[in-house]
Amino acid sequence: MFKEINIHYGAHESQYGVLRIPENSQSSQLIVLIHGGFWKAQYNLEENTAMAEDLTKRGFTTWNIEYRRVGEDRKGWTDLFNDVIDAVNHLSKIEESYPIDISNVTVIGHSAGGHLALWLGSRNEKSTNDGTFHELRVCINKVISLAGVTDLVKMWEFHEQKKMESRVAPLLGGSPKEVPERYAWASPIERLPMGVEQVLIHGEQDRHVPVELSDNYYQRAMEKGDKVSLVVLSEIEHFKVIDPTSSAWNSVIESI
């Protein structure tokens, strides 16, 4: 019911995405998918396969992207972020070869992918060549964060309180005290307002990313004047929001 094409946007083996296009589609709404896994190399874009297939069957074109993650060969901490930008920018290079419409792009990210989706949305307004990140050249119309890590400092503190190994420090190369400027650059809550419509969907029973992160982000975004909505789902845990067979999936479809 759809075409599936693997396309590389860079030379590294992890710099690629899977483009799924509905059959007989001349042009359809395009959804970029960013997977989670706390930015670690052991997790990959297959996490989003069921979600991508469901969305494509519903008539959406999906671009499920991979990126260089913690534990892979990277020159510096910004490579992961630049990969996400480059993957989206690559759409402008392939739009003449495939029936895709880059004028209406929605980004959906789960968990750490929710962090990257929100951060990517912030580059719409702050994408000048600041010497740190690549310029985002494809406009993002909407961001949907599914159990997203909206605040890197709070996520670091959560792991500290639970006496867990930090998932954030390896991403940025240190703690909030050691590299505070990186947390300011990379944390979505510090990038507000972003001027892009945002939808936050989070399960109350999430034990991986506390629902409070989305709630706090929502309050801050409202104060900053952004167009944002928050959907908190009772009895829903971390992975149900990306499960097309779950009742939580209805909220994702409605948000699109």
Confirm if 143 and 252 have CB atoms less than 8 A apart: no
Cβ–Cβ under 8 Å, residues 91 and 105: yes
What sign does the dihedral 119-124-125-126 (CA atoms) show? positive
Query: Residue 175 contacts by C-beta under 8 Å, 6 or more apart in sequence?
Result: 156, 166, 169
Q: pLDDT tens for residues 26-36?
A: 667 899 999 99
As a whole number of angstroms, the distance between CA 80 and CA 85 comes to: 9
What CATH class has 2-255?
alpha beta
Query: What pTM does this model have?
Result: 0.96
**160-173 pLDDT per residue, tens:** 887 778 899 999 99
Q: pLDDT tier at 130 (50, 70, 90 boundaries)?
A: low
